Amino acid sequence: MSDKVLLDYGSGGRASHRLIKDLFLKYLGGPALNRLDDAAFIEDMHGPLAMSTDTFTIYPLFFPGGDIGSLAVHGTVNDVAMLGAEPRYLSCAFLLEEGLDMQDLENIVRSMSEAARNCGVQVVTGDTKVVPRGAADKMFINTTGIGRIIADPAPSGSRAEPGDAVLISGTMGDHGLAVLAHRQGLSFETDILSDSRALNGLTCNLIRQVGNVHVFRDPTRGGLATTLNEIASQSGMEILVHEERIPVHREVQAGCSFLGLDPLYLANEGKFISILPETLAEKALELMRSHPAGRDAALIGHVREGHRGRVILKTSLGGHRLLDMLEGEQLPRIC
């Protein structure tokens, strides 16, 4: 194979088949994918399912703490997990620009393979398109995932109830700031790494061992502030959160001050919000803190009746301010 991606690799012909065999099957192969039929055969899915899709356009392809390949696995696995499901199967569609470095592609596919293995999902079907130079920027990846819902009823943004506790699984803003700092060539005292990781291990534990989770949601694009607004709007509730209880890495805080950004609006790729009855909050926190994906978990606020769809931040100085949804684009191509 050439050391650059050629248009031929997307033709559906012999060159495409070589790419599929020598690269995709090598790293992602398994009983379903190896069949090379038009669709994957999935034998063992019964009961209610969760399905989610995401196209990843992150720039640059490699960033501190991850790359577009592992991110594309984690992102969709997490979205499926947020519905109270065990993610099981992924489709994976590559959109490649002619001339992309083959070594970069191989590193990314290998990274996807490791990420998929680590979170227990199989890539069962795929697609590759190559577009001429200039028609895309290097590489985009779509992953779509399905999983079996194990929570009954399934968590939903609409199920937040008065009195519920609002928990987050860790620090806010790491992914957004890591990518931005890397793009701009900024360096801080210590490296800020993306928090890109799979959350399904911990969310499934919470469902099985704590139960009755009303809402799971991962605060990706738009950050914690936007996601809380979505939940408030879906459920028709008001949410109050305490600024000083929201964990933010010192370096992220410093970087945000320097760049004029707010960590509550920065994307996260390995954190989730969990909303459940106050009586279960302690047990949930304990379980979260005992898991690598939830070490810095915190109870940050409560749901209450009040102004429908409003999120209020109680500041460190004791004041209150409206925490609004992100209006426009703070940072393009963050995921």
Q: Is 255 in the site for its own copies (CB under 8 A)?
A: no
Q: Is 10 in the site for its own copies (CB under 8 A)?
A: yes
Among positions 265-304, residues that touch its own copies (CB under 8 A) are 267
Contact residue for its own copies among 22, 26, 31, 37 (CB under 8 A): 37
Q: Which residues face 299 on adjacent strands?
A: 167
Q: Is 218 in the site for its own copies (CB under 8 A)?
A: yes
Task: Give which of 98, 52, 93 is closest to 75, Cα–Cα.
Answer: 52
CA distance 305 to 311: 11
Helix (H) or strand (E) holding 145: strand 139-149
| 259-295 residues labelled b (16+ CB within 10 A) or e (exposed) | eebbbbbbbbbbbbbbbbbeebbeebbebbeebebbe
Among positions 147-176, residues that touch its own copies (CB under 8 A) are 147, 149, 154, 156-158
Of 104 and 251, nearer to its own copies (C-beta) is 104
Among positions 73-92, residues that touch its own copies (CB under 8 A) are 78-80, 82-83, 85, 89, 91-92
Considering the complex, what minimum distance in angstroms separates the CB of residue 131 from its own copies?
5
Q: Which stretch binds its own copies (CB under 8 A): 38-46, 175-183, 282-290, 302-310?
A: 38-46
Contact residue for its own copies among 68, 100, 119, 146 (CB under 8 A): 146
Of 111 and 143, nearer to its own copies (C-beta) is 143
Among positions 88-117, residues that touch its own copies (CB under 8 A) are 89, 91-95
Of 134 and 292, nearer to its own copies (C-beta) is 134
Contact residue for its own copies among 38, 189, 260, 319 (CB under 8 A): 38
Contact residue for its own copies among 26, 31, 103, 127 (CB under 8 A): 127
How far CA 71 is from CA of 61, 151, 314, in Å, comes to 10, 25, 33
Q: Is 52 in the site for its own copies (CB under 8 A)?
A: yes
Sign of the C-alpha dihedral computed for residues 145, 146, 149 and 155 taken in this order = positive
How far CA 334 is from CA of 13, 175, 233, 262, in Å, comes to 34, 8, 24, 15
At 225, give phi and psi (nearest 5°): -60, -45
Contact residue for its own copies among 31, 60, 132, 162 (CB under 8 A): 132
Contact residue for its own copies among 24, 57, 116, 248 (CB under 8 A): 57
Q: Is 36 in the site for its own copies (CB under 8 A)?
A: yes
Considering the complex, what minimum distance in angstroms separates the CB of residue 324 from its own copies?
8
Q: Is 222 in the site for its own copies (CB under 8 A)?
A: yes
Q: Residue 250: left if φ>0, alpha if ψ -120 to 50, beta else—which one?
A: alpha
Among positions 226-245, residues that touch its own copies (CB under 8 A) are 226, 230, 234
Task: Give which of 10, 227, 214, 221 is closest to 105, Cα–Cα.
Answer: 10
Contact residue for its own copies among 74, 140, 179, 201 (CB under 8 A): 140
Contact residue for its own copies among 50, 139, 204, 280 (CB under 8 A): 50
Q: Is 318 in the site for its own copies (CB under 8 A)?
A: no
DSSP type of residue 137 = S
CA distance 64 to 246: 23
In the three-class reduction of DSSP (H, G, I as helix; E, B as strand; rest coil), residue 301 is classed as strand
DSSP type of residue 325 = P
